[in-house]
Structure 1
Amino acid sequence: MCTTCGCNGTQAVTVTEMEGQAGERGEARDHVHGHEHTHSHEHSHPHDHEHADGHTHDHEHDHDYPHPHAASEALALNPAETHARAHGTSITLEQDILAKNQLLAERNRGWLAGRSILALNLVSSPGAGKTTLLERTIRDLGETLPLTVIEGDQATLNDAQRIRATGARVVQINTGTGCHLDAEMVSRGLTQLDPALRSVVMIENVGNLVCPALFDLGEQAKVVILSVTEGEDKPVKYPHMFRASSLMLLNKIDLLPHLRFELARCIEYARRVNPAIEILQVSAQTGEGMDAWYDWLRSHSETCR
């Protein structure tokens, strides 16, 4: 459960690998993960885990390299939490959740760095155009820059199906009632996606400008997409997200002639909360300004190699 926003984490998270992907892996597979760490996938070297309630279960691992999901089960309960729960002591859940998430995020970051993979966390309000931006980016750059995608939504495979239609490999993570991805979900997604060395992983987060600002996924940078249809004051209304982001893509600029949107004020607001933020004006629909975005991607991909 996310105590920051109150979203209910009791509904299982599902990780779905889309069928018919490049480097065929067979049919689409759903991996349901609740908070009891019940796994539907098999591994080849058995080992036992003992939980706080004394229950033990076996896992078998078939991976021949360390992957970010390997550490997630060990973080289920730390000794301080076990002691606190046994004695009815109040603990600060938010701090514990964020601390666990940060540890897993660092493991993800190390896993990605070891493979020279650039991972970007794409964040925005719902409807800002993240998926359309990804579709155009993949179609324009897919031949020269290997791109794979982790899609985050509360429900449906709709966005993953759109990405799959471009020819890119994609894994869909459905968070149930959760309002954001976290590092553990992404570690599972990376294990399923198995991105190539020296490639780019785009993580499309759940549409939300609040909690995704707090949860590091192990990405190299957050990229916030702001549509001109949303209003120019979004950066000052949601300062934590814009402060956490390295790049702002101001999307749907083709609609500016039809809107009352003060472009200069929006840019000023963004730089007021984050003086270092880079800002690019784009239209994923018409292609205007997209070359600057592609140059940014290539440059940051090169720094990972």
Structure 2
Amino acid sequence: MCTICGCESAQTHAPHVHDHPHGEGDHVHARVLQLEQDILAGNQHMADHVRAHLASQHTLALNLVSSPGSGKTTLLVETVTRLKAQQRPIAVIEGDQQTSFDAERIRATGVQAVQINTGKGCHLDARMVHDALHDLPALPHGVLMIENVGNLVCPAGFDLGEHAKVLVFSVTEGEDKPLKYPDMFQAAGLILLHKCDLLPHVRFDVDRALAFVRQVNPDAPVIQLSSITGEGFEGWMHWIDTQCAAA
């Protein structure tokens, strides 16, 4: 059981600590904090190893995060299709609690994908990514896309060795998501405002949402796009190209 979020993650198993009465609460609390620190330190060590490995191949790794239902997989399918057309090496690591549906959608494009099922775990961790890389080809000067489990809480605290977290924020969600989940929005290196083709049909104030984004993350660029109409994809692909050049 992960002492940080309560999920059962392969990387974050830790001994169960019983709460004791009779004045032992402070000791138990200190022990739990130490376990959390050990878990995150172990994950960080593995993430640094993954990052060094990818850097040696000049591979750009992007960690796509979002809440469930944001259209992250649909966006990813369109993205890898365009990258493949550019002859850029690309592969995908798919994270989900159950099923392999998302990986199958990626493979249908001709791009190799590894599915990671986390079971009761609510996020990927660096060990999972490290192990998945053994099932993928080298991607010199290419792109590794990591689709994290749909969750706006736990993935914010776990480095996977990525170059940047890309947050997919859908217009079908509330404008106040940045204020409700500030850690995730603060961790994002890029924010994609997705499903913009639905704006005429939903109550979503773009200006208000962007103002909330700026309150918690003044620096991350925001791209408005739609995987259905293609709106904004030129900017998204250009951002990937610039990050590849930096990698």
Q: CA deviation at 1:143?
A: 2.4
Question: What is the alpha-carbon distance in structure 2 between the residues aligned to residue 269 and residue 204 of structure 1?
Answer: 25
SS, match of residue 227 in structure 2: coil
Q: CA deviation at 1:2?
A: 1.8
Per-residue CA shift, 1:148-195, capped at 9, x if unaligned? Answer: 100000111100000000110100011111000000000001111133
SS, match of residue 4 in structure 2: coil
Task: Determine if the alignment matches structure 1 residue 166 to structure 2 residue 115.
Answer: no
SS, match of residue 299 in structure 1: helix
- Do 2:62 and 2:165's aligned partners in 1 also have CA atoms closer than 8 Å? yes
SS, match of residue 234 in structure 2: helix
> Which of 124, 128, 135 is 1:192 aligned to?
135
Task: Determine if the alignment matches structure 1 residue 102 to structure 2 residue 41.
Answer: no
Greater RCO, 1 or 2 (C-alpha within 8 Å, sep 6+) = 2
- Do 1:154 and 1:177's aligned partners in 2 also have CA atoms closer than 8 Å? yes
State the match for 2:144 in structure 1. 201
Question: What is the alpha-carbon distance in structure 1 between the residues aligned to residue 77 and residue 83 of structure 2?
Answer: 10
> Which of 132, 135, 151 is 2:74 aligned to?
132
Per-residue CA shift, 1:128-163, capped at 9, x if unaligned? Answer: 011101111122221212221000001111000000
- Do 2:61 and 2:162's aligned partners in 1 also have CA atoms closer than 8 Å? yes
Matches within 5 A, 1:273-284: 273-284=216-227
> Which of 149, 153, 176 is 1:210 aligned to?
153
State the match for 1:60 in structure 2. none
SS, match of residue 208 in structure 2: helix
Question: What is the alpha-carbon distance in structure 2 between the residues aligned to residue 137 and residue 267 of structure 1?
Answer: 23
> Which of 182, 190, 209 is 2:125 aligned to?
182
Question: What is the alpha-carbon distance in structure 2 between the residues aligned to residue 261 and residue 34 of structure 1?
Answer: 37
Letter in 2 for 1:184: R
Which of the pair has more CA radius of gyration? 1
State the match for 2:171 in structure 1. 228
Unpaired runs of 5+ in structure 1?
Answer: 14-32, 36-75, 77-87
SS, match of residue 64 in structure 2: strand
SS, match of residue 214 in structure 2: helix
Letter in 2 for 1:95: Q
Matches within 5 A, 1:34-113: 90=31, 92-113=34-55
Question: What is the alpha-carbon distance in structure 2 between the residues aligned to residue 299 and residue 158 of structure 1?
Answer: 31
Per-residue CA shift, 1:15-73, capped at 9, x if unaligned? Answer: xxxxxxxxxxxxxxxxxx997xxxxxxxxxxxxxxxxxxxxxxxxxxxxxxxxxxxxxx
In angstroms, what is the RMSD of aligned CA positions? 1.9
Question: What is the alpha-carbon distance in structure 2 between the residues aligned to residue 253 and residue 176 of structure 1?
Answer: 32
- Do 2:12 and 2:39's aligned partners in 1 also have CA atoms closer than 8 Å? no
Letter in 2 for 1:115: Q
Q: Which has the higher helix share?
A: 2
Question: What is the alpha-carbon distance in structure 1 between the residues aligned to residue 127 and residue 76 of structure 2?
Answer: 23
TM (normalized to structure 1)?
Answer: 0.73
SS, match of residue 129 in structure 2: helix
Question: What is the alpha-carbon distance in structure 2 between the residues aligned to residue 191 and residue 159 of structure 1?
Answer: 20
Letter in 1 for 2:244: S
TM (normalized to structure 2)?
Answer: 0.90
- Do 1:121 and 1:202's aligned partners in 2 also have CA atoms closer than 8 Å? yes
- Do 1:195 and 1:201's aligned partners in 2 also have CA atoms closer than 8 Å? no
Q: CA deviation at 1:303?
A: 1.0
State the match for 2:241 in structure 1. 298
Per-residue CA shift, 1:53-109, capped at 9, x if unaligned? Answer: xxxxxxxxxxxxxxxxxxxxxxx9xxxxxxxxxxx9945211110010001100111
SS, match of residue 4 in structure 1: coil
Task: Determine if the alignment matches structure 1 residue 8 to structure 2 residue 8.
Answer: yes
